[in-house]
Amino acid sequence: MRGRLAQFRAFNAVARFDFGKDGLLRLDATRSPASLSRDDGEAVCTIRMSLDNFDKMLEGVLNPTLAFATGKLKVQGSMGSALKLAALLEE
């Protein structure tokens, strides 16, 4: 994901990916370049999913919208921000 940080600049917000026992990632796209950290700071949305499904999503094997519809991905917070992020992940 670090290699794709430039594309997330259009997100212009902070999102948290919660992988349960596998930890979390915090994407801060409010700055240029966007950054990733393991900090558990504030975010406009939290996306909960398994690390395995996150990898599949980054590889283009798992569609974010389908993952949400089938319960493989859960969103807490701003659904609009999560949808914007999903669109960037699908690129």
Q: List pLDDT tens digits, range 12-52.
A: 899 999 999 999 999 999 988 888 999 999 999 999 999 99
* Number of separate domains in the chain: 1
Residue 47: domain span:
2-89
Q: Are 29 and 43 in contact, with CB atoms under 8 Å apart?
A: no
90 vs 58 pLDDT, higher one: 58
Quickly state the pLDDT bin for 3 (edges 50, 70, 90): low
- Using pLDDT thresholds of 50, 70 and 90, give the confidence band for residue 90: confident
Question: Residue 36 belongs to a domain with what CATH number?
Answer: 3.30.1050.10
Residue 86 confidence (pLDDT): 84
SS3 string of the chain?
Answer: CHHHHHHHHHHCCEEEEECHHHCEEEEECCCCCCEEECCCCCCCEEEEECHHHHHHHHHCCCCHHHHHHCCCEEEEECHHHHHHHHHHHCC
pTM: 0.86
